[in-house]
Amino acid sequence: MTAHSLDHGLETLAASARAELVREIDASGAWDADPAWREVFEAVPRHLFVPYYYVGIVGGYERRSGDDPDPRRREQWLRGAYEDAPLATLVRDDELVSSSSQPSLMAQMLAELEVEEGNTVLEIGAGSGYNAALLAHRLGDDLVTTVDLDPEITESARQHLTAAGYHPAVVTGDGARGVPERAPFDRIIATCTPVSVPVAWPAQCRPGARILAPFGTGLISLRVSGPGHAEGRFLHTPAYFVPLRGGTRVEPEPQYLGGLPVRARGHELFRFLLALTQRSLDPYEAYVVWEREERPARERFGITVSGDRSWAWLDDPKGPYTWPLP
C-alpha cells in the first residue's frame, strides 16, 4: 500500500481529518483576508504530498510512512499529515533540509499574497509540492512556477503533484536567481528564508506585483513599484523557515548576549530586531534602540529594495533608524 492508494477506511479518515484541519484553520482567522482559500484547502489532499515524514525524537528523527506494514502506524502517519504542524520531509545526516510548512501559516501567507485571477506566481522553495498544488488549484497549472536548488526535492515534488493531478512548472535551480525564463511574475512567495531580498525577485516582477517572504523571524510583504524597486512592512506574525540555499550566502556573525538583561535575551521581538540589524548594530546598540522605542512590534519594521541595495527600517524608510542588509 502506498500513500497514493489508501484503503477505504483510511480514505474516510483522510477526508475527516482534512475537514477538521480546515475547521481549525478557519477558526484561527488565517484566511480572513481571502476566504476563497478555504475551498482550496478542502480540495487538495495534504497526505499525497507527505507520503512519509520525520518526527523528532531523542537523538534524531523517526520516519512515519503510508507504506508502513503496521496498520496502526499507517493511521498515525495519516493523522499526523493533517495536523496543523510543519512536517520534516527531507533529513540528511540528522539535519533538516526540507519540510511541509504549518498549514495555517501557509493559509495566512497565501491570503496575504492577494492573488487575482490570471496572476502568474513564482514559489521559491518547492518543498513537498503542497503549496504549489494549492496555488495551481486556485489559479491553474500554467500560471504557477515552483523552484528549488535540490534535484531530489524537485523530483519528489513533481511526483507528488502528478499523483494529485496538478502540473505546474517545477524548476531545479537557484531560487535566489528567480526563474527568468518564466518571468515576469505578478506574485512571488518564498517558503525559505533569505539573508536579504535577492535583486532578481523584484527585477522579474511586473509593476504592482507583491513579494511575500520569510525574513529573520518574520514575514515581509513587499510591493514592487518598478524594475528592481520594492518596499513594504512586516506582518505581525512570527515565522520560522529553513534557510534559502544557493546564491550568495552571508552567514550570521555569532553574537554575545550575555551582558544584556534576561528580558531582552529571551524576548522574541528582540531576537527579531537582532536578525534585522546584525550587520549594522552590535547587540548592545540594538538593545538601546529596542528600549528607546518601547519594544517595537514587527509591523513597525519594513524593508526597501532599490536596485542592488536593500535596507531595513523602523517606522520610516527615510527615518533615523535604517540598517543596510547584506
Q: Which residues are catalytic?
A: 101
Cβ atoms of 189 and 120 closer than 8 Å: no
Q: What is the 3-state secondary structure (H, E, C) of the chain?
A: CCCCCCCHHHHHHHHHHHHHHHHHHHHHCCCCCCCCHHHHHHHCCHHHHCCEEEEEECCEEEEEECCCCCHHHHHHHHHHHCCCCCEEEEEECCEEEEEECCHHHHHHHHHHCCCCCCCCEEEECCCCCHHHHHHHHHHCHHHEEEEECCHHHHHHHHHHHHHHCCCCEEEECCHHHCCHHHCCEEEEEECCECCCCCCHHHHCEEEEEEEEEEECCEEEEEEEEECCEEEEEECCCCCCCCECCCCCCCCCCCCCCCCCCHHHHCCHHHHHHHHHHCCCCCHHHHHHHHHHCCCCCHHHEEEEEECCEEEEEECCCCCCCEEECC
Cell of 248: 550568495
Cell of 226: 518598478
